[in-house]
Homo-oligomer: A and B are copies of this chain.
């Protein structure tokens, strides 16, 4: 019945770590395939003659490292580790469609975008990133990106309101240019975006993000701070949160001489 090997009495590690190692080896060697049921708490208790806590802790180790998923009242299963999607990050003019929708369709998924815009006063950190005084009016837009109905990306963008006030693109996701992307929209009011900067960090999701993105426990998220700028000033910043298990971010450059900047 049980494929898991015995423990090694000479192993100095705690028992729960040894049990976790046995299960891990079974997964990494392919004995247990993604989606397979992992021996549960009861099974581990009897198999290794340990208490509930020890078995539970062993599984917790694996769940926290993202190797397995616990489904309450159903069982524990090997997680699928594949990264299904890519996020090529290039920025071009005249795109005609926003990044996300293009990517999703390329992956055969039906994209959907929910957006909620309102004018707010810029907080300290937002103001600093937009290089405007704190308290200045900005248009803040919260996005939820859905693929086949599942939320897959969150973003909050800020645009200085003095730029877009009383223009057709006052609200990013309304009007004729909805869904075309920042560069196209800004172009339409004569604002030429020439630079993009992204700062990528990673962390475990907050409880709110766990819920909104439905990420399994133990899966980190990417957090991207993106800035679109003209030659003069930043004109849009966005904070983007992406599940780390479903995306890889790709960046490409061309190497140039000396102090000349990079290109692809």
Chain A positions within 8 Å of B, measured between CB atoms, are 53, 64-66, 83, 89-94, 183, 193-207, 217-222, 244-245, 247-264
Write out the residue numbers on chain B whose beta carbons fall within 8 Å of the beta carbon of A91.
Answer: 253, 255, 262
A217 touches B92 (CB 8 A): no
A205 to B202 Cα, complex, angstroms: 12
The 14 listed contacts between A and B (C-beta, < 8 Å) are: A90-B262, A92-B255, A92-B256, A92-B262, A94-B258, A194-B255, A196-B262, A197-B253, A198-B252, A199-B248, A201-B247, A203-B220, A203-B245, A252-B261
A217 to B220 Cα, complex, angstroms: 12
A83 touches B254 (CB 8 A): no
Q: Known A193-B255, A204-B66; judge A199-B249 contact (CB<8 A).
A: yes
Instruction: Rank and list the top 5 A-B pairs by shortest CB-CB distance, nearest first.
Output: A220-B220, A261-B264, A202-B244, A263-B263, A202-B202
B93 touches A255 (CB 8 A): yes
B250 touches A203 (CB 8 A): no
Q: Known A90-B261, A256-B92; judge A64-B195 contact (CB<8 A).
A: no
